[in-house]
Amino acid sequence: MSDNKIGPGTYLTDAEAKELHKGFVASMAFFVLVAVIAHFLVWVWRPWFGESRAYAAVEVQQQADATAVASPRG
């Protein structure tokens, strides 16, 4: 190894560093792909752009059901 590098050593050879970097880039690309797919699936389920609150009626019904269960009338 050459001693003319500035900063602390990494204790890796150039080949090892390139292999580590290749693995890091591949895992990062996989993570981004999974995140994009997850965001798309959630958007298909409940879009946050486009129609304004298309699922609001469902939430109102769920709140009404929860309130009815929490305070039963006798």
Q: Quick check: is 19 in a domain?
A: yes
Q: Quick check: is 21 in a domain?
A: yes
- Comparing 17-21, 54-58, 65-69, which segment has the lowest mean pLDDT? 54-58
**pLDDT tens, 30-52?**
999 999 999 999 988 888 877 66
Q: Quick check: is 3 in a domain?
A: no
Query: Where does the pLDDT of residue 72 fall: very low under 50, low under 70, confident under 90, or very high at 90 and above?
Result: low
- How far CA 10 is from CA of 1, 15, 20, 32, 45, in Å, comes to 11, 12, 12, 27, 46
- Number of domains making up the chain: 1
- Residue appearing with tokens 């590098």: 5
Domain range for 45 = 14-70
Q: Quick check: is 42 in a domain?
A: yes
Q: Quick check: is 2 in a domain?
A: no
Q: Quick check: is 28 in a domain?
A: yes
Is the entire prediction scored with pTM above 0.75?
Answer: no
Q: Quick check: is 64 in a domain?
A: yes
According to the model, what pLDDT value does residue 55 have?
Answer: 64
Q: Quick check: is 7 in a domain?
A: no
